[in-house]
With several copies, the nearest count.
Chain A
Amino acid sequence: MAAPSLAVDLAPGNPRELVLANPVIAASGCFGYGLEYAGVMDVQRLGAFVSKGITPKPRSGNRMPRITETPAGMLNAIGLQNPGIRGFVKKYPKIWDAWKVPAIVNISAESVEDYAMMARILDELPGVAGIEVNISCPNIAAGGYCFGWDAAMSADVTRAVRAATTLPMMVKLSPGAVDVVSVALAVEDAGADAVSMINTLVGMAIDVRTRRPVLANATGGLSGPAVKPIALRMVYQVAAAVQIPVVGMGGIMGLDDALEFFFAGASAVQVGTAVFAQPGMLIRLIDDLGEWLSSQGVGSVQEIVGAALPAGLPSRRAATEADVEIDFAAAVAAG
């Protein structure tokens, strides 16, 4: 039998397409700019990687401590330390341009205009394969209310970025939204080529000795295996509703976790925190996935995407079936 196909296009509706050799992507903030891990693994074998979040201006980030461990998870409050879009552009894209692996740039901002400004700068930049729009940021114009919690605000950002670039664009959803499906449908409608999910959940730890928050920023983003059940539920809900590809992440530590996300409807997966614990896992995951598909006699990873969805993927259903009502029941705990 031929080796199974691992390839996936994360922007099937975009002429500039975003074809990955395999569906394993290193997640934003956990892989620096790709170079940091070049010494410990063959970065070129990845499906893609996403850069640390870039902002309009350079940021020195939050005070220390910025990270702390929690049960089967971690909290981070890096505070988007990065050289700013201009510093970034001078340095990394030209290095990536010589690379085989697609590099996706994660952008964060506090106003719709700033998102659009960054997208314009990235639009024709050699070395940049796509954009991931991080909408888990406070909207200054809305008193700090997070863009990603609100469908209309999320759609505004998406539309502005879409108008500024034809690059493949993935919008990264916030798990803080009360109804992540509405947000996903809104950004799909506003022109996103794909959605990625989930970003971190906001959490906290307190130092029992000092009686103060462990993190200098008090709160931080929770990631790692602890959040996997939540991430998987959200992917399952969103994948049942949108037609564009869903990129799943949150606590993936190996093949079984990745398979859960594929079955829930993710066309590709991102791996963040696990890379810290076991950098070798990323490449092993690609190999394990290929072997598993062969062992199951599956010709392409895309065949298993959405296997757990009762009605399958909307993009594969007849148009008339595709109008799914939002099912709140899936999101109400039934203790």
Chain B
Amino acid sequence: MVELDPILDVDLVGAGGVVVRAREFDSRILAVEPVMGDSALLTLSLPPGMAGSLRAGQFVDVLCRVEGSYDPLLRRPYSIFRADSRTETMQLLVRPYGRGSAWLASRPVDTILDVLGPLGNAFHIHPRSRNLLMVAGGVGAAPLVMLTDHALADGRNVTYLMGAADADALLPTSYLPSDVEYGVATDDGSKGHRGFVTDLVPEYLRWADQVFACGPEPMFRSLRSVSSAHRLGGKPRIQVSVERTMACGLGACLGCVVETKHGMQTSCVQGPIYDMDEVIW
């Protein structure tokens, strides 16, 4: 049996070194753009000062119900797609899937949402990494967009690979900075490579100093198998954003744990970003 070491400090140190505490705050929907087929890109207001401290890989927990209804009961976690400290806003990419997301994706502009965040740890770019490979599956595109923004601002090179069911469900190029190399794969071959996004990964493994991935579990499985033969001494390192059902988002309920080589960890506080090789899959 692995002994738990509950986290004592939920303080998060933002990019600028500022300490950002998770807060429960009211957020207004400022814009809703349809994107990637039936998904919605929501632009949300943030409390003053928060946008600049958000880090790529972090998420927020949104209450997806009207006042007076307790169903659905729990919040839903969404990765931060982009944050803008000038307008004090952030964006979330929401795919209507079940009860919570269908509600959220169809909210009209000006809806006030109850948001808890920022939550979780962040992707970590090593100071000496020059070339970064992003591997996105579906709405897993979200946190990798913010990571791409930050990496480019630091003068690094980014290749962004994305997979989706068909051309419609891909993130349009216009949502990515122009100096990114964008490679795509679709299940039906309607755009780019016909097959899995992970099929495209091996050819970049020599180039990349680090790999960052977000998508469904099967994508991670296939990422592990296609990359194993091409990685030497575990290089390049691969960071992944894992998805678990969450209740509290703050490390209190122990509902979202991930088994790692360092023991049971709460993916809402000690994750959702993990070194792929440290997770016991």
Contacts and interface: CB of A to CB of B under 8 A. Distances in A.
A15 interface: no
Contacts of A95: 8
B18 interface: no
Given A58-B3, A83-B5, A87-B3, A30 B70 contact: no
Interface size class of A (residues with CB under 8 A): 35 or more
Given A37-B252, A60-B264, 16 more contacts: A35-B7, A35-B9, A36-B7, A39-B11, A39-B21, A58-B4, A60-B263, A74-B73, A78-B254, A78-B255, A83-B3, A83-B5, A276-B75, A276-B253, A277-B63, A279-B250
Interface string B101-142: 000000000000010100000000000000000000000000
A32 B74 CA distance: 17
A86 to B, nearest CB: 10
Interface string A275-292: 111111000000000000
Interface stretch (B34-42, B143-151, B157-165, B240-248): B240-248
Interface stretch (A4-12, A65-73, A100-108, A173-181): A65-73
Contacts of A265: none
Interface string A49-66: 000100001111100111
B195 to A, nearest CB: 23
B74 A83 contact: no
B248 A30 contact: yes
Interface string A66-92: 111101111010100111100100000
A250 interface: no
A36 B251 contact: yes
Contacts of B6: 32-33, 35-36, 83
A95 B9 CA distance: 12
A306 interface: no
B4 to A, nearest CB: 5
A35 B8 CA distance: 6
A62 B251 CA distance: 16
Contacts of B246: 67
B219 interface: no
